[in-house]
């Protein structure tokens, strides 16, 4: 059995096998520069840039894992029970989802009431966000100073005066930011008053 072997080609950095009958045409310098620029651009890309068919890394909201965008996860729900209509004989599978039709009896939730936003979207979307965030260091100083300036019995007018006085005190101590409006707003108001006076 005759085995046809390819002629030996010295390693030149390319995978093209040389053919003695093939005539190589000279390549212009513009083509060489364009090829080198394209190779340099590709080599500097990230892994997902070099392999766009795989897609970017994403945090999957279905499986809660990080994987490539090309992998599509499908949501699967637990089958609770099969409901059968005795008159029509129609069977319906009840899945463990957040929202059920009104009147569906489930041991862990009341479907007569609207489910909470955490049941619909998931609790992880709201993780770390307080409904009433704690005051920061500057605002704590504001609260403390207002309490010092307020009398034992006070009304809303006293509260406004104490807050205004505290803002002036803390702006001298810590700066205007967060306590007093910016200087440009003050200048605009002065310009408006000056315009009204001239009119």
| pTM of the entire predicted model | 0.32
Residue 20 is encoded by which pair of tokens? 């003695």
% of the chain with per-residue pLDDT over 90? 11
Domain assignment present for 171 = yes
State the Cα–Cα distance between residues 159 and 165, nearest whole angstrom.
Answer: 10
Domain assignment present for 185 = yes
Domain assignment present for 161 = yes
Per-residue model confidence as pLDDT tens digits over 117-171: 776 777 777 777 787 888 888 889 989 999 999 988 889 999 999 999 998 888 8
- Write out the residue range of the structural domain in which residue 144 sits: 137-198
Domain assignment present for 78 = no
Mean pLDDT confidence for 188-194:
75
State the Cα–Cα distance between residues 124 and 106, nearest whole angstrom.
Answer: 24
Domain assignment present for 80 = no
Residue 9 is encoded by which pair of tokens? 């080609």
Long-range contacts of 74-81 (CB under 8 A, 24+ apart): 80/106
Per the DSSP assignment, residues forming a β-bridge with 95 are: 79
Confidence of residue 46 (pLDDT cuts 50, 70, 90): confident
Q: Which residues of 117-143 are buried (b: 16+ CB within 10 A; e: fewer)?
A: eeeeeeeeeeeeeeeeeeeeeeeebbe
The domain tally of the chain equals 1
Per-residue model confidence as pLDDT tens digits over 75-86: 888 888 888 888
Domain assignment present for 167 = yes
Domain assignment present for 106 = no
Confidence of residue 15 (pLDDT cuts 50, 70, 90): low
Domain assignment present for 149 = yes
pLDDT at 107 over 70: no
């Amino acid at each position: 059995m005759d085995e046809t072997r390819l002629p030996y080609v010295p390693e030149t950095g390319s995978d093209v096998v040389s053919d003695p009958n093939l005539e190589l045409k000279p390549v212009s310098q513009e083509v060489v520069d364009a090829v080198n620029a394209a190779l340099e651009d590709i080599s500097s890309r990230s892994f997902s840039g070099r392999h766009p068919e795989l897609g970017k890394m994403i945090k999957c909201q279905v499986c809660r894992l990080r994987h490539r965008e090309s992998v599509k996860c499908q949501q699967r729900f637990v089958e609770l029970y099969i409901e059968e209509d005795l008159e029509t004989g129609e069977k319906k599978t009840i899945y463990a989802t957040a929202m059920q039709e009104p009147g569906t009896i489930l041991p862990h939730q009341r479907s007569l009431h609207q489910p909470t936003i955490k049941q619909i979207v998931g609790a992880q979307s709201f993780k770390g966000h307080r409904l009433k965030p704690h005051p920061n260091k500057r605002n704590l100083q504001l609260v403390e100073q207002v309490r010092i300036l307020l009398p034992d019995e006070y009304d809303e007018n006293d509260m406004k005066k104490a807050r205004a006085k505290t803002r002036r005190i803390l702006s001298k101590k810590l700066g205007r930011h967060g306590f007093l409006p910016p200087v440009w707003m003050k200048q605009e108001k002065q310009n408006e008053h000056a315009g009204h006076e001239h009119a």
